[in-house]
Structure 1
């Protein structure tokens, strides 16, 4: 049993001990010939004693060395419990072996998914839209000429290792005065941006300070503006204005575009896509979170060139002024109409029930469940897209969210090539 235990993968300390012992034996073997060559003779009893002392010293060195290492870690993390210690040491090693996942989107949906993914892998790259022009982010964008920090702040907090009080501080919004409505986290990013050479460097520094798992990147460093074209032909400028004007005009969104049209995607984002095991689109607002990323030059091209899997995660609820009456298939069609060269290998959608209390709240706001129709299933099958339906509902304080852990398990399994037949109606649509 002990032999089996030693063969189990862990922190990789045991293999280095064995390697060190083999090295000692090889050196001893070499030295024996050297001593023989110079005609040094040692009595057999003395040779045995010297060898015994040598093995004792090697054992002592390894034992004390490892003990000292763990004592140092313990002294640094003296305020951590034993469980947290194990997580810091063992899980970090385990997570570093997880699949490389690139998640593209924005808004609340993206940050929720990231909280789930970091339980399975540390090789996460979050690519975040910078088309936001509303709320506190929009104010900083207008006043300081910087890229909007809001969605990026949420993603950093989702991937960060910090105490709850620190997270509350960074999410705190001022209630009075000139800063009313502004979050402390946004101001921190704005301050870091002021002392950095560019926005990307500022995000890297913030990520280092907050011990972020993985990486968070803006999709581009250019100051892009999102435009929406309604079905009645009217052109709307500004991400925050599109749903408002759509409702006001009683006309749905036909398409969106960005200016400048030639905005370049960040080099690091393109590189991350190229080596990813899986690329995830969403969840998030279709026209104002997901498509603004895909419209940036070379992002869709990089995804299309990737030999690995691309997954789209459908929203659970429609969004007033954006996706009124949309089914899962309508979401996919809109993406492919904007990005004809994009390849989507899988679509993940919820088929679980949403209880009346939470559902009623959304209906009051004009939102409904994103349905899955038989026509959707058939169309996706004809497009060569594999469809996974699963109960992914999680309701917190009457807010409908994806179950981040369950959704992350599906993504990690897909990235690892572990396709499961018991995923909802997956077995019917392979």
Structure 2
């Protein structure tokens, strides 16, 4: 292990250990006359002894406080399993690659649940173009940014009991709050007592002990517009796929207003410092692209030295990506954001069992399959294709296997991490594999 690795932030007690050792040396110096007969100036002897005792006291006090603070975070319970996990999180996950994930919707929150098992250096940059459901109602009534996707990301990255998660995801069944989630109201309350929406998210993240960071892509109230092949311009994220189906006209392009909306400063910095920037999975036109259209987000991604990864959706979405192949999804991003050069595309090559697939077919969705044309075009674009069976089915819903997908992303991140020796990368990956085989 390199000295620089040892000095990286972990349990935050290394500094106190070093300070304590300095104190011990000073104390030993002041007592050297009694042990080895070394002649020492009496004044220096007294000062060194007092200073040594003081440094030892400070090191013990702050070192123990740092440890107890972390124990308090896990509920003050000295359960061995929880303490081991806390140490693992601090020591191992803190050294994981810096991964920025950009998107929204269910796909993003599922991926985050997988990534937090491998690294704590996660930043989720989330769309705020949502105008439907409970989020849209709060946006309209309170003039705040839509909290729904951000709520899901915070919950995905939080360390909490199952009951607390159920509470935050609970939707009221009756009255004026019908359809509204408690988590959205929690964020709305935080927003009310905070300086701005960003501060509200930070406070909620602190309360729920979130791994990594969650940022809205912008603090400005943006609206998404879609232009269909028929020429019709549709206002509102939730209306675009509906109008596309109604007119039987595919989406040609999307844009946001105000066009000059600026990306959050912290989001820009996170992209600049990342080892990997991930686009998706999520709705192409209504979750991923609204983020990339925000001023200086595309520029930040283009200028970042991070590896850029696009995760292709598992299924097409009616009114949004009907008939799209893997390359169809990617070329839509390239068309809207020509400055972004993707390095890797991750795509599923697994099949879906009949029962689950039938429900999607009835809704007009189909499996996004990798074709020879996809492979050929990606080769032309000099983009590496990583394909695997990434299918996971829960309650007849088709999702990406979050753990398997996260392993692939972390592998890319470890290759990108500067200063990591090949042996260290291999050892880390073997450790991760053992962790999920146990």
* Aligned equivalent of 1:36, options 27, 36, 39: 39
Please say if 1:341 is aligned against 2:339.
yes
Residue 64 (structure 1) shift: 12
Aligned residue in 1 for 2:209: 211
Aligned residue in 1 for 2:383: 385
Larger deviation, residues 95-104 vs 292-301? 95-104
State how far apart, in whole Å, the 1-side matches of 2:284 and 2:329 are.
7
Distance 1:277 1:240, change over 3 A: same
Aligned residue in 2 for 1:202: 200
Please say if 1:86 is aligned against 2:106.
no
State how far apart, in whole Å, the 1-side matches of 2:300 and 2:61 are.
50
Residue 316 (structure 1) shift: 0.2
* Aligned equivalent of 1:360, options 314, 338, 358: 358
Residue 381 (structure 1) shift: 1.1
Distance 1:249 1:63, change over 3 A: closer
State how far apart, in whole Å, the 2-side matches of 1:176 and 1:102 are.
38
Larger deviation, residues 27-36 vs 388-397? 27-36
Distance 1:21 1:222, change over 3 A: closer
Residue 122 (structure 1) shift: 1.0
Tell me the TM-score normalized by structure 2.
Answer: 0.83
**Contact 2:89 2:120 survives alignment (8 Å):** no
Residue 260 (structure 1) shift: 0.7
Larger deviation, residues 23-32 vs 121-130? 23-32
| Post-superposition CA distance 1:114-167 (Å, at most 9, x none) | 001111111111000000000011111111111100000000100111111011
Distance 1:72 1:196, change over 3 A: closer
**Contact 2:11 2:66 survives alignment (8 Å):** no
Aligned residue in 2 for 1:163: 161
Residue 21 (structure 1) shift: 5.3
State how far apart, in whole Å, the 1-side matches of 2:320 and 2:280 are.
15
* Aligned equivalent of 2:322, options 321, 324, 337: 324
Aligned residue in 2 for 1:423: none
**Which runs of 5 or more residues in structure 1 are unaligned?**
1-9, 40-58, 421-430
SS at match of 2:278: strand
**Contact 2:325 2:369 survives alignment (8 Å):** yes
Residue 283 (structure 1) shift: 0.3
| Post-superposition CA distance 1:285-332 (Å, at most 9, x none) | 000000000000000000000112010001000000000000000000
**Contact 1:11 1:90 survives alignment (8 Å):** no
| Post-superposition CA distance 1:331-358 (Å, at most 9, x none) | 0000000011111110000011111111
**Contact 2:13 2:66 survives alignment (8 Å):** no
State how far apart, in whole Å, the 2-side matches of 1:68 and 1:294 are.
43
State how far apart, in whole Å, the 2-side matches of 1:144 and 1:281 are.
30
* Aligned equivalent of 2:121, options 116, 120, 123: 123
**Contact 2:225 2:235 survives alignment (8 Å):** yes
Residue 83 (structure 1) shift: 1.0
Q: How many residues align?
A: 396
RMSD of Structure 2 on Structure 1 (CA): 3.1
**Which runs of 5 or more residues in structure 2 are unaligned?**
1-9, 43-55, 417-421, 426-438
Larger deviation, residues 90-99 vs 13-22? 13-22
Residue 99 (structure 1) shift: 1.1
State how far apart, in whole Å, the 2-side matches of 1:24 and 1:381 are.
62
Aligned residue in 2 for 1:426: none
| Residue pairs, 1:12-161, within 5 angstroms | 24=24, 28=28, 32=32, 35-36=38-39, 77-79=75-77, 81-161=79-159
